[in-house]
Amino acid sequence: SPAGAVEWSPSWGVPRVLIASCQLPYKAGWLMGAHPEDDGGLSVCNYFVLSERASEMLAKDQATPALRLWKRFVEDGASTKEGISFKVVGRVEDLDKYEVPESFHRFNNKPVLLTKSCRMVTSRLPEVIEIDYDIRSWVYPARTALANYHHRAAEAELEIGYLVEGKADDELPEQILGCFKMYDMDITQAQWVSIM
């Protein structure tokens, strides 16, 4: 922690670090059935650290609705449609200048619930939580759109944000837990790496 900052405490029930890992497809796969086993995909990993402001609020027991919801989500240990849901929002800056299908425009800046494609790694709690999600298990149109337009990612500014879905009045307003921007991500230049 920076000098003078409130030190993180496990008693808050909120992890200090959130790691998010997204597995993107290289191939669209088939309309029906499992995704091709030979498509190892591409990982986009990032991490977020609890802000000084959030730490101050938690230390004073003055959590926002979004921080209380984040705490409940961590306690539940799963993202489900029926319960508490983790969401991702993707936005392409200046989407109109790219030649992409209308479906891209419909989903730009729209949240997606991460439920069945989402896995939480809680072995490093209370300090670190990891949320992995695999787009290769998403519906065919989403996989197709992402796999067929890899070449556009090299030209685009892509903004990604993560949040927990607020469903009741006392869980609102929703707040972004962490966000990042990717520039010129040339997926076609990614290299296979073996950790074995």
% pLDDT > 70, the chain: 97
Compute the distance between CA of residue 28 and CA of residue 98 in angstroms, rounded to an integer: 20
Helix (H) or strand (E) holding 148: helix 140-148
Q: Whose CA is closest to 160, among 84, 93, 85? A: 93
| pTM of the shown model | 0.89
Helix (H) or strand (E) holding 76: helix 65-76
Q: How confident is the model at residue 45 (pLDDT cuts 50, 70, 90)?
A: very high
pLDDT tens digit string along 147-170?
Answer: 777 777 788 888 999 999 999 999
Instruction: Provide CB contacts within 8 A for 63, sequence distance 6+.
Output: 57, 71
CA quadruple 20, 73, 124, 195: dihedral, nearest 10:
-30
Q: How confident is the model at residue 2 (pLDDT cuts 50, 70, 90)?
A: low
Mean pLDDT of 23-29: 86
pLDDT tens digit string along 65-99?
Answer: 999 999 999 999 999 999 999 999 999 888 888 77
Is the separation of the CB atoms in 71 and 14 below 8 Å? yes
